[in-house]
Amino acid sequence: MRMKIKDIVNRDLVNLQNCESEPIHIPGSIQPHGFLLALRLSDLHIDFCSENCVDYIGLTHTALLGKSFAAVFGEEEHSRLSGYLLPLERDASTPHVLTYNGIRYNTLIHKSDASYILDLEPYPGGNLTLPELYSQTRRFVSYLERSVTLQDLCGIIADETRAITGYDRVMIYRFDKEYNGEVFAESKRDDLESFLGLHYPHTDIPVQARQLYMRNLMRIIVDVSYKPVPLYTIDDKPGKNLDLSDSVLRSVSPIHIEYLRNIGVGATLTISLIYNKRLWGLIACHHYSPKDLPHFTRLAAQLQGHFLTSQINVREVAEAFDASQLISKHLESLTQRISEVSSGNFEGLINEHLLKITNSDGAVFLSEGVIHPIGQVPPEKEIRKLLKWLASKQEEGFYASSKLNRDYPGADKIRENASGILFYPLGNAEQDCLVWFRPEVRKTVSWAGDPNKAIVKNEKGLSPRKSFELWKEITKYQSEDWGEVELNAAAKFAHALQRQLYLLYLAKEENKYRLLSEKLQKANSELENINWISNHDLKEPIRKIQVFASKILEEEAGGLSEFTLSSIQRMNDSAKRMHVLLADLMTYSHLRDTSEAFTTVNLNEVIDKVRKELKDEISEHNASFEVAGLPQIKGVPFQLRQLFLNLIQNALKFSKEKVPAVISISFEVSQDQDPVPGLVPGQPYYKISLNDNGVGFNNEYAGSIFNVFKRLHSAKKYKGTGIGLAICKKIMENHSGAIVARGEVNMGTTFYLYFPEIIDSEARHAGNR
């Protein structure tokens, strides 16, 4: 059965409208200055080959596909190839040499998916001998001595690369952050127009092309006018293709070919310059007629690129170091003054050093909303608008831009002083922050053609421009870029200043709390005086009112009218209530957190003492008690006595008429799921429940009954001051606990008391009975 063969040429129509997604790694074709074979990894059978195999070795693609390498080239060549493929790490600079019919071919080999790809080119007559390599290495050393700046070094590399390769023009092409290119250095024939300093838009080298430059560091086009040679394969599975990303013969994008034709180039060699895992630039070699290079000459040119990339870091660091030395002096001088800053006094910081650490023309230090400016800054009204916008944008903790108009709507109004800004918040961005300003810097940028017309429309759709006449653009609305050294200096100063401001804030707060404490102590002293007056000076006249009213009622009752007797009796009752009220107020005011008086208290004993104290009232209401074994807790004995005294009195007072009062007190260890205000979530508490069968109350008032003077029932029917439950709440707070009330009208009331649990299990149950 005859096998079916197909070509894998990518025939999709490509123009600049869709070139960003052009699959340039799988063109399905190669350049004709060599031929290509792809061997299966498993058995070294030919799975792909180029149509022009017949031009080099006299065998058509149909005769080659499906054959083993040994069957075509012989066992000796098969053995030599297998030996070359065997090492895990081969020297890629030394190609395999294939000999067929007495002709030698340089053979560059790499893996691609399930294939070995062999790029075969006729073996060149010349070679780069060891003495020449040695001389080239020695010249690298001389470059270091001859060059001062990175641009000087690039110029030397361009000259040397042109001398090695013989191309008409060699350019060192450098990218900016957006991948717009600039001809940074150039070496050329004297009769050619200079491209030095020209800029090219990022559209000239699309994303996927840059990705291939990162992967395959050298690419050659021998003849821009070449006719692509199709690749063929056996049609044994759908979508079968071959990734040529690392192939030196890979056919290039037709868009790029059209671009090169438009600028009159006949052949190119491109060497990638990689720095910090980013495409820093290219060594772009142009020739104005077809030109091929022997393999080792290409490697010599590539070695120039390797040397240059090794020096990019050294040169940029050296240049940055010189700048950083000066900035560091200003930063040191400025940071030394930070410790001298006092609240509201920042004069030591508002000086030229603040500008010099970022090489700015103006700066603003905002402290507690007050603007402290220096140098050229926008009007205060515009600064505050800018700060409000910055406060909403500070996701990364700072903001830096040399083109503020790209982000900020109001940038046009302040561009003269603030086309570029550097911002660091020191807390609330609208209250405390640092902002440095740079003015608009207008520059003339020389483009190789209008960058706005880098794409033109014709019968093919969108294509690269044909006009490369000098086009000058004046850049507006932007400042000089912020350098890494400047950004670091600003960050260090901002962080140091922020720490000092926090210390000032803490000192201010400490002083504020000290003054408040003094006021509180003074108020407490005054309250103590009022309490003493209440306890002594007020009680005395009330006692006299009671004594004289009682005497009149006992001794003079017969001679007085009924109205007079009633009035004196009411006066006596009011005096008694006033006496009780003063006593309760004194009790409430004396309830402080007396943690030094805490001791282990047996609640069963507390209940026994309260019952004995209320013996008469218990008998009067025919009350009965149901008391479960209660725990021991840490507390203040007299406060706990007051607590249960108030609660049991409350239960007796609000019992139903002619119904015996029943009071039950129980205990459990609780970690309630429902949050109780004042308690620590998850911490175990003793939960004491005190329940009665009295008149109860509407549960919507459960939170307010603990307020001072809060009463839910008639004062005439139920005597009291309205302070008792407030005292209970205060006692529970003193014991790091809480009290909660639940009631239902005519069904009784339950009070829940929460005390922190004593962890010792023996102590917990020691008081149970």
Q: CA end-to-end span of the chain, whole Å? A: 103
Return the pLDDT at 47: 95
Asked if residue 740 and residue 656 are part of one domain, the reply reads yes
Please indicate whether residue 303 or residue 269 has the higher confidence score (pLDDT).
269
- Domain end marker among 508, 539, 570: 570
Asked if residue 690 and residue 602 are part of one domain, the reply reads yes
**Highest-confidence segment of 135-139, 166-170, 510-514, 653-657:** 166-170
State the Rg of the chain over Cα.
47
Q: Is 184 helix (H, G, I), strand (E, B) or coil?
A: strand
In whole angstroms, give the CA distance from residue 210 to residue 212.
Answer: 5
Task: Copy the structure tokens of residue 204.
Answer: 């000239």
Asked if residue 542 and residue 632 are part of one domain, the reply reads no
Q: Is 722 helix (H, G, I), strand (E, B) or coil?
A: coil
Q: Is 192 helix (H, G, I), strand (E, B) or coil?
A: coil
Q: 760 lies in which domain range?
A: 591-765
Return the pLDDT at 510: 77
Residue 303 inside a domain? The answer is: no
- Domain end marker among 122, 151, 174: 122
Is residue 709 scored above 50 in pLDDT?
no
| 693 Cβ contact partners less than 8 Å away, ≥ 6 residues apart | 655, 656, 659, 661, 662, 747, 748
Asked if residue 605 and residue 725 are part of one domain, the reply reads yes
In whole angstroms, give the CA distance from residue 694 to residue 717.
Answer: 14
- pLDDT tier, 318 (very low <50, low <70, confident <90, very high otherwise): low
What mean pLDDT is predicted for residues 135-152?
69
In whole angstroms, give the CA distance from residue 380 to residue 386.
Answer: 10
| 533 Cβ contact partners less than 8 Å away, ≥ 6 residues apart | none
Is residue 423 scored above 60 in pLDDT?
yes
Asked if residue 602 and residue 560 are part of one domain, the reply reads no
> What are 634-692's pLDDT values in tens digits?
988 878 888 898 899 888 888 888 889 999 999 988 765 567 877 888 788 899 999 99
> What are 607-626's pLDDT values in tens digits?
998 898 888 888 888 999 99
Between strands 624-627 and 662-670, the pairing is: parallel
Is residue 586 scored above 80 in pLDDT?
no
In whole angstroms, give the CA distance from residue 497 to residue 183.
Answer: 43
pTM over 0.75: no
Asked if residue 760 and residue 612 are part of one domain, the reply reads yes
Asked if residue 564 and residue 610 are part of one domain, the reply reads no
Is residue 87 scored above 60 in pLDDT?
yes
What mean pLDDT is predicted for residues 158-179?
91
Asked if residue 645 and residue 683 are part of one domain, the reply reads yes
Please give the C-alpha separations between residue 254 and each of 151, 230, 305, 742, in angstroms, as whole numbers: 33, 14, 26, 86
Please give the C-alpha separations between residue 344 and each of 283, 337, 504, in angstroms, as whole numbers: 57, 15, 10
Asked if residue 613 and residue 552 are part of one domain, the reply reads no
Task: Copy the structure tokens of residue 202.
Answer: 């990022």
In whole angstroms, give the CA distance from residue 87 to residue 353.
Answer: 61
| 628 Cβ contact partners less than 8 Å away, ≥ 6 residues apart | 665, 666, 667
Is residue 761 scored above 60 in pLDDT?
no
Contact 165, 198 (CB under 8 A): no
CATH code at position 112: 3.30.450.20
Q: Count the residues in the chain.
A: 769
- Domain end marker among 63, 97, 122: 122
> What are 498-541's pLDDT values in tens digits?
777 777 777 777 777 788 777 777 766 655 555 555 555 566 67
- pLDDT tier, 152 (very low <50, low <70, confident <90, very high otherwise): confident
Asked if residue 75 and residue 106 are part of one domain, the reply reads yes
> What are 740-759's pLDDT values in tens digits?
988 888 889 999 999 998 76
Asked if residue 632 and residue 524 are part of one domain, the reply reads no
Give me the percent of the chain exceeding a pLDDT of 90: 25
Average pLDDT in the chain: 79
Return the pLDDT at 534: 55
DSSP 8-class letter at 397? S
Please indicate whether residue 199 or residue 57 has the higher confidence score (pLDDT).
57
Residue 538 inside a domain? The answer is: yes
**Highest-confidence segment of 98-112, 396-410, 449-463, 553-567:** 98-112
**Highest-confidence segment of 16-25, 243-252, 438-447, 721-730:** 243-252
What mean pLDDT is predicted for residues 697-704?
78
What mean pLDDT is predicted for residues 13-26?
58
What mean pLDDT is predicted for residues 694-718?
65
Task: Copy the structure tokens of residue 630.
Answer: 């209660």
Asked if residue 543 and residue 628 are part of one domain, the reply reads no
Reference 358, options 278, 419, 420; nearest CA is 420
Phi-psi region of 434 (alpha: psi -120 to 50; beta: other; left: phi over 0): beta
Please indicate whether residue 462 or residue 474 has the higher confidence score (pLDDT).
474
